[in-house]
Amino acid sequence: MSVSIEIRKEDIGRILRITVNGRSLDTPHFFPVVRLGTRVSLKFDGGIWSSGVITSAYLLWKRGFSGDVHEGLGFEGVVMTDSGAYQTLAYKTPIKASPEEIVEYEKRINSDIAVILDEPIFPDDTYNEARRKAKETVKRAKEANVDDKRVRVMPLHGIERPDILKRMIENSDFERYKMAALGGVVPYMERYEYAPVVEATVIARDSLPSDVPLHVFGAGHPTLIPFLIAAGADTFDSASYALYAKDGRYLTPRGTYYLDDLTELPCMCPFCIGRDPQELKRDRKLLELHNYYVLLQETVRVREAIRLGRLREYLEHKARTHPAAMEAFKTLIRYKDLIKPRAARFRQRGMFIFDKLSLLRPDAPERPELPKADKVILVISRDPPLRRLKDFEGNTVIYVTPRGLVPAELSETYPFSQTELPESLREELIEERIKKAKEIRKEFEIVER
C-alpha cells in the first residue's frame, strides 16, 4: 500500500495531506456522497471540484456492481466507501450483507478508504445496548481480514456516552486501522444538536493517536463544519447538498433557507449568478450544485483560516450564525484544556478580541503567575515597551492589560501586546483588572502612561 499522512499545518485545527495509491487530498476535506449511475465527477464549469468522494459499498453490492469503483463513478480521485451501516441507522433495519462480505467486496472494487461494517448506536439505545454494540464493532474490527492496499477505517460510537467512546478507542488497533470515524451523527444533525457531536469529536481526538485522521459521518452543514475542525475532525461527509435540494432548501454560510422564502439569491457562485430562486427551484441539479459549492467553500475558508492563524476569530464569527453554533462554540470552550495543547504557541498575527466571550476561546493562553513582592507598581499603558522599565528600577512592575495583570518582563510576549479590541471593551476590562488587584493587595501604586 502506498499511504502517507503528512501534517502540513497544525493549530487548534490542522491541515493534512493524505495520499493513498497515488491519489491525494488535503484536509479539512468534505466527502460528498455520490451514487453509482450519476457519473458525478464533481468538476464543472466554474471550477467546482473535489479530490475525494464517498459512496456506499453496500448499495453497490446490492446492485451487483463488480468493477473498479473509480470507473463506475467516473471519478479519478480518492474514493471512500461506507459499509452500509448508515442504512441501519437511518431505517433501523439490518442490512443483508455480513461484515466479512463487505470487507472482501471493498477489496474487489478497489476502494481507497474503506469502512468496516459496524453496529451503529441509536440515541435512544439503553446504556447496556450501546455498550454491547460498541463491543461487537470492536470484535468485528479485530476479526476482519483487512489488507494493506487501502486505508481501513475504524468506526467509533459514543455520542453522549464518553466512556463507551474512549473504551472503543482503547480497544482498537490503529496499526491496522489508519483512520477513525465517528458515527451516529445524523440524528443530532437533524435536530440541530451540534454540542453533543462537537463534544464527542473533542474526546475522540484527544484519545486517538495524533497521526490517525478523524472522520465524522453525516456532518454536512456550513454552520457546524468549522467547530468540528477545531474539535479535531479532519474529514466529514454528507448527502445534505442533495437532500436539501430535494426539499427546495438553499444552503448559505449562515444557515439554510427555503427557496420560496427568498426574493433574490444571496450568492454569486456559478450556479446562482444571473438566476432567481424560482429557476433553482425548477432545476434541482442547479440547487444541488450550489449547495455543494457552499460546503466546499466552507472547507476552503477554514483551511485558509488555519494557514493565516485566524481560525479562532472565524469560529467566533460562525458562532453567531445560529444558536446551535453558539452551543458548539461554548462546548469548545468547556473542553479548552483538551484543545489547548494543540494550539500554536506563537503566531504571526495578533489576536482579535470582540467581547468577553473572546477571552474564553479554547486557544487563549494562560495568564502568567505574578511575582511576590512587598511593593508592586501597576502600570496602565496602551504600549508597554521594556525600555520604560528603567523608570521603575528597584520595583516590581506589573502591567494592567485587558488580558489580566502581566509582569513587565512578559509584557511584549504574545499575545499580551499583540491584541486588538474595541476601546470601550479595553476600558471596561482594565477597570475590572484594577478592581481585582485591589482585592489581592491593599497598597500599591498605579501609574498611567
Instruction: State the DSSP code for 33.
Output: B
Q: List the grid coordinates of 108.
A: 474487489
Q: List the grid coordinates of 449.
A: 502612561
152: part of which helix (H) or strand (E)? strand 151-156
82 is catalytic: yes
Task: Please say whether the dihedral angle defined by the alpha carbons of residues 310, 314, 317 and 323, taken in this order, is positive or negative.
Answer: negative
HSE (CB half, 13 Å, CA atoms) of 38?
A: 16
Residue with cell 502540513: 8
Residue 214's φ and ψ, nearest 5 degrees, are: -115, 125
Task: Please say whether the dihedral angle defined by the alpha carbons of residues 59, 63, 69 and 74, taken in this order, is positive or negative.
Answer: negative
Task: Please name the residues in contact with 379: beta carbons below 8 A apart, sequence gap of 6 or more.
Answer: 388, 392, 397, 398, 399, 400, 408, 446, 447, 448, 449
Q: How far apart are CA 53 and CA 310, in angstroms?
A: 28
CA dihedral 233, 239, 240, 245 (to 10 degrees): 160
**16, β-bridge pairs:** 7
Helices within 213-260 (DSSP H only)? 225-231, 240-246
Residue 124's φ and ψ, nearest 5 degrees, are: -95, 5
Q: List the grid coordinates of 275.
A: 438566476
Q: How far is CA 196 from the centre of its chain?
A: 13
Is the backbone of residue 232 left (phi > 0), alpha (psi -120 to 50) or beta? left
**78, β-bridge pairs:** 52
Q: How far apart are CA 396 and CA 437, in angstroms?
A: 14
Q: Which of 11, 26, 82, 112 is catalytic?
A: 82
Q: Please give the positions annotated as active site.
A: 82
